[in-house]
Amino acid sequence: MNFLSYPRPLADLITALSRLPGIGPKTAGRLAFYLLQEPEAAEALAQSIRAAKEEIRQCSLCCNFTDSDPCALCQSDQRDHSLLCVVEQPRDVAALEKTGEYKGLYHVLHGTLSPMEGIGPDQLRIKELLGRLEGVKEVVMAVNPTVEGETTALYLSRLLKPMGILVTRIAHGLPVGGDLEYADEVTIARALEGRRQL
Amino acid sequence: MNFLSYPRPLADLITALSRLPGIGPKTAGRLAFYLLQEPEAAEALAQSIRAAKEEIRQCSLCCNFTDSDPCALCQSDQRDHSLLCVVEQPRDVAALEKTGEYKGLYHVLHGTLSPMEGIGPDQLRIKELLGRLEGVKEVVMAVNPTVEGETTALYLSRLLKPMGILVTRIAHGLPVGGDLEYADEVTIARALEGRRQL
């Protein structure tokens, strides 16, 4: 018998925790011991995982996570329904909402086109996007400036432009408070490219 | 209505995750979105938390986490039952077992004496320790070299010595591979104090 190994349920818990992104085996062990020592926190966590799993679904319009369908944002009459912002992930919606600057609706793709990983248009929420374009005048691409993000933006703009919809892209450039000296070349090139008259 | 806020079950999940040690609100958000996007991982995690909570208890002898009582280690006839090693936490047992050098049994205190936090002898597994001393010849204190750890070791040694039990303390000094230049003064002082003849 190997006394190095933890009792099976504890080992299983450590394994499950170490599958989370950014949680290595050491952190997983620390978290598991914490959960064993704090049964109430453990119960609350198990319960909220189950509840989130059961109650959170995707909005049938914007595909964002929601507990009501359509989501509160899609139902709001205070938002501009002729303006759609396309993002990769639900957390991007939160990031944009935090600015308080955007007044339109969102559409969450749940990923980007990536032939290398076998993710084509059918794996993304593109069909849902095409199905809600009535009355939409502008679609802002707020996908990330990665190869996959750019590819996705280009693909979508080719689909949407022939339908008479204005397709725009959020600006890339130096972050506010950023320093030219420390910016990478691609960012500086984008900042130059996107320069405006003062 | 505030669109900044997440749907309630998602917000609850983020709150529960951010209560874990070392998990801030940003990481909690990332983990929550991951769990929503990977329902199988979420289910596995919720299940293993519940299973660990239900099946793992404390060994009635050594107070370590176990799924059988007494635990496999306390039941083993390959270990020296006259030697006890006192540690603060269950994870310390794992750390000591990894060395493969220790052949005795353990006793887990589940904390250290800390009057500041209201932790007295009754909050630790000291009664359980005193109840299993029959046939024990030596108790090794492997509590951490903190003020609380030292206080606890001293307290226990004063209890145990009058019973004719040899009480020892694991050595403190420079870690193997450590450099004198970078060691703190207390460690160097301890290393000097614990010097041995070559």
Q: What are the pLDDT digits (tens) for A149-165?
A: 999 999 999 999 999 99
pLDDT of residue B101: 84
Report the percent of chain A where pLDDT is more than 90.
Answer: 67
At residue A2, does pLDDT exceed 60? no
pLDDT of residue A197: 73
Asked if the structure places residue A165 within a domain, the reply is: yes
Helix, coil or strand: residue B57? strand
- Whether this model's ipTM surpasses 0.90 comes out as no
A81: phi then psi, degrees, rounded to nearest 5: -80, 0
Same domain, A84 and A25: no
Same domain, B93 and B140: yes
Residue B2 banded pLDDT, cuts 50, 70, 90: very low
Spatial separation of the C-alpha atoms in residues B54 and A174, rounded to whole Å? 53
**With an 8 Å Cβ cutoff, are A49 and B29 in contact?**
no
Q: Quick one: how far is CA A128 from the chain centroid?
A: 16
- Give the nearest chain B residue to A105 (CA atoms): B3
Average of per-residue pLDDT across B32-56: 94
* Residue pLDDT, tens place only, A171-191: 888 888 778 788 888 888 888
Spatial separation of the C-alpha atoms in residues A172 and A156, rounded to whole Å? 19
Range of the domain at A23: 8-55
* Average pLDDT value for chain B: 90
At residue A87, does pLDDT exceed 90? yes
Least confident interval from A50-59, B78-87, B92-101:
B92-101
Which CATH number fits the domain that encloses residue A106? 3.40.1360.10
pLDDT of residue A12: 93
Same domain, A51 and A84: no
Count of structural domains, chain A: 2
pLDDT of residue B4: 60
The DSSP letter of residue B106 is E
Chain B residues closer than 8 Å to A4 by CB? 94, 97-98
A47 vs B3, higher pLDDT: A47
Smallest Cβ–Cβ distance between A52 and the set B9, B30, B91 belongs to B9
The nearest CA of chain A is from the CA of B173 a distance in Å of 24
pLDDT of residue A22: 92
Spatial separation of the C-alpha atoms in residues B98 and A26, rounded to whole Å? 14
B36 vs A100, higher pLDDT: B36
Residue A100 banded pLDDT, cuts 50, 70, 90: confident
Same domain, B91 and B157: yes
Which CATH number fits the domain that encloses residue B17? 1.10.8.420
Same domain, A12 and A47: yes
B152-179: string of b/e by CB count within 10 Å (b at 16+)? bbebbbebbeeeebebebeeebeeeeee
Asked if the structure places residue A154 within a domain, the reply is: yes
Smallest Cβ–Cβ distance between A36 and the set B42, B52, B73 belongs to B52
**With an 8 Å Cβ cutoff, are A34 and B21 in contact?**
yes
